[in-house]
Amino acid sequence: MTDSAARTAGWFADVDPDEFDGLDDRDAGDARDARDGSTVVTAIREGQTETPQDWPTLAVDDEFADDEAAYYDRLHDATMAATRAAVTEREAADDRQLVHAVRAMDDCERTANELAERLVEWAGTVDPDAGTGVSFARELARGDHELESESEPITSLAERVVDLADEAADLREFVERQTPTIAPNLAALAGPVLAARLISLAGGLEDVAKKPSGTIQVLGAEDALFAHLRGHAPSPKHGLIYVHDAVRGTHPDERGSAARAVAGKLSIAARVDHYSGERKPELDAELAERIETIQARTAEDGDRGDSGGETDE
Amino acid sequence: MSDDLPAGVERHPFDGTDRLATRGDPVYGEPTDGDWRAWNPTRSKLGAMLELEMDTGLEGGDEETVLYLGAASGTTVSHVADFAGPTYAVEFAARPARDLLETAASRPRLFPLLADARKPATYAHVVESNVDAIVQDVATRGQARVALENRRFLADDGRLLLAIKARSEDVTRDPEDVFADVRAELEAEYEILETSRLEQYHADHLGVVARPRSQ
């Protein structure tokens, strides 16, 4: 690589040296300004090159800085501003975006199902062979199913249902992709969608992290919980986390234990995600081990004449 | 075994016990004595490696350049910046990087970067070539590959100081097997000079000192 080619690969190549006046103030204050206004921040965050060079020497040769010390001073200002902008952006975006995405996903799914029911009822009046649900809407929209008497409004409604179902699927994909970057441990333990629902119901990742595990255990079972507190119902064993394989896959007699164990690990995972952000794979193993122990209890009993209650889907 | 601590790192008495220490702004509520701040080996893998008297080859001083992979919230890298020269700190997660920024604010030769250590091309335009040491403490799968990928930054006589976390590779396997695999993979481009279990301070970790093989 020639010297000039090497220089253009450095972060300082296209940076306006004047920008460093006042970068310090901005980086202490509003990261948004630094992000929008500065080629420095963009250069650090978005630049790429395969091979590192002796940047300090090249920058001095290039008259970007008077000497090595001045170069390092600028590098410090630049990396501070760029990293602050990146951190602010990642942190501000994430869990709020996720809450909206998972709520929109649920709304789309629910609405698609409701409209599909309406569609089926309507289509049944003109065609006795009408199918059911969203899959029937798809057949209609694709033209795989011809109604006995053609009805334009019914076909049009079917198309809307399909669009909504597709939107819900896209949102689910988004949630599955985003949750692990925001809450890596919670997503790994609960699955991305359940993790996102817990964050949504609690109000944010920080709120999940600050809840006791007993609350996480019954999140989503508020009606049952308050009925219990009023004194005319047993306490709920599980809320949202019922859909977790470790809870649903456990014999009903032991589901309370399983739900307690899952909620405990999920609350630890949420705390790690919120306060450190580091992935801790040992949590997965600990939960798996605990659930195995719990499920082993009923497996033993089951051998002694359980009336076939183990048929879980 | 040598007890040659890098310049700027000393055993300094805190409440009557000698502990590793460097001079700088306190970061994580560690005990201080004047300028000196204690370096807690149970919270820092590099600290544990020094405490166990591994020969890290670190010299200290303003001329020494360091690339630190997996800086997290800056606990260890703050000590490195205290005794070494220009120090590049790479961290992938946003939350700890926020704390890292505070650590870096009072250390003019500590350069924080929010980047993925598995993708050196995303920071090779900032981090200079021929650094004297790479310190690696990343809790991800594929720790050997991270070391191989970042070989490009290291001077031919530089040192790789690596803390391998067995549980990050595979929680279910015996740590010794994991370490053997990681070492075998490292051998492709590094010559391993010394290894030591950090058990006393960090469960299931292996400290490794290596130097690049001449190409």
Instruction: List pLDDT tens digits, range B137-189.
Output: 998 889 999 999 999 999 999 999 999 999 888 877 899 999 999 999 999 99
pLDDT of amino acid B167: 84
Q: Note whether residue B2 is domain-resident.
A: no
Tell me the Ramachandran region of residue A187: left when phi exceeds 0, alpha when psi lies from -120 to 50, beta otherwise. Answer: alpha
For residue B105, the enclosing domain spans 40-212
pLDDT at B9 over 50: yes
Percent of chain A with pLDDT over 70: 87
Mean pLDDT of A182-193: 93
Q: What is the pLDDT of residue B3?
A: 57
Helix (H, G, I), strand (E, B) or coil at B158: strand
Is the model's pLDDT at A127 over the cut of 90? Answer: no
pLDDT of residue B77: 95
Specify the 3-state DSSP secondary structure of B162.
strand
Tell me, what's the pLDDT at A257? 92
Q: Note whether residue B107 is domain-resident.
A: yes
**Contacts of residue B104 in chain A, CB cutoff 8 Å?**
76, 79-80
Total number of domains constituting chain B: 1
Reply yes or no on whether the pLDDT at B51 is more than 50: yes
Q: Residue A149: pLDDT band by 50, 70, 90 thresholds?
A: confident
**Is residue B77 included in any domain, yes or no?**
yes
The one-letter amino acid at A281: P
Give me the pLDDT at residue A8, please. Answer: 78
- The pairing of strands B10-14 and B17-23 is antiparallel
Please report which confidence band the pLDDT of residue A196 belongs to, taking 50, 70 and 90 as the band edges. Answer: very high
User: Edge-to-edge, what's the strand order for the sheet holding B154-165?
Assistant: B110-114, B87-91, B66-69, B131-136, B154-165, B205-212, B190-197
Mean pLDDT of all residues belonging to chain A: 85
B204 falls within a domain? yes
Pairing verdict, β B87-91 and B66-69: parallel
Cα(A3)–Cα(A143) distance, integer angstroms: 64
Half-sphere exposure of B208 (CA within 13 A, CB side): 27
Mean pLDDT of chain B: 92
pLDDT of residue A262: 95
Average pLDDT over residues A274-296: 88
pLDDT at A89: 78
Percent of chain A with pLDDT strictly greater than 90: 48
8 A C-beta contact, residue A42 and residue A14: no
Supply the CATH number for residue B158's domain: 3.40.50.150
- Between B93, B104, B125, which is nearest A278 by CB? B93
Q: A73, A163, A70, A67: which is closest to A112 by C-alpha?
A: A163
B34 in a structural domain: no
Q: How many CB pairs under 8 A join A and B?
A: 113
**B105 lies within 8 A of chain A by CB:** yes
In chain A, which residues have their Cβ closer than 8 Å to the Cβ of B110? Answer: 76
Question: B112 and A80 in contact by Cβ < 8 A?
Answer: yes
What pLDDT, on the 0 to 100 scale, is given for residue A90?
A: 74
Average pLDDT over residues A27-37: 45
Average pLDDT over residues A45-61: 92
Q: State the smallest CA–CA distance between residue A174 and chain B in angstroms.
A: 20
> Given CB atoms, is A281 within the 8 Å cutoff of chain B?
yes
pLDDT at B2 over 80: no
Place A170 in a pLDDT band, splitting at 50, 70 and 90.
very high
Q: Measure the CA–CA gap between B215 and A235, rounded to whole angstroms.
A: 68
CB pair distance less than 8 Å for A274 and B95: yes
Nearest by CB: B172 against A86, A275, A285: A285
Looking up tokens 């250390």 gives B107
Q: Average pLDDT, stretch B54-75?
A: 94
The residue among A207, A169, A175 whose CA lies nearest residue A190 is A175
pLDDT band with cut points at 50, 70 and 90 for residue A301: low
pLDDT of A94 higher than 80: no
The answer to whether residue A17 scores a pLDDT higher than 80 is no
Q: Is A72 at the interface with chain B, CB within 8 A? A: yes
pLDDT surpassing 70 at residue A6: no
A138 to chain B, closest Cα gap in Å: 42
> What are the two backbone dihedrals, phi and then psi, of residue A63, each rounded to the nearest 5 degrees?
60, 25
Mean pLDDT in residue range B40-56: 94
More confident site: A240 or A33? A240
Residue B64 falls inside a structural domain: yes
Of A66, A62, A88, A81, the C-alpha closest to A19 is: A81
| B117 inside domain | yes
Taking the Cβ of residue A282 and every Cβ of chain B, the question of whether any pair is shorter than 8 Å is answered with: yes
Q: What is the mean pLDDT of residues A42-49?
A: 90
d(CA A42, CA B92): 18
pLDDT of residue A298: 78
Predicted-complex ipTM score? 0.93
Chain segment A232-245, per-residue pLDDT in tens: 888 899 888 898 99
**Residue B1 pLDDT > 80:** no
Average pLDDT of B18-31? 91
- Mean pLDDT score, A286-300: 86
Judged against a pLDDT cut of 60, whether residue A310 lies above it is answered with no
Residue A33: band (very low, low, confident or very high) from pLDDT cuts 50, 70, 90: very low
Residue B187, domain member (yes or no)? yes
pLDDT for the residue numbered B136: 97
The answer to whether B203 faces chain A, any CB pair under 8 Å, is: no
A25 pLDDT higher than 70:
no
Distance CA B85, CA B211 (A): 20
- What residues of B are in contact with residue A284 (Cβ under 8 Å)? 171
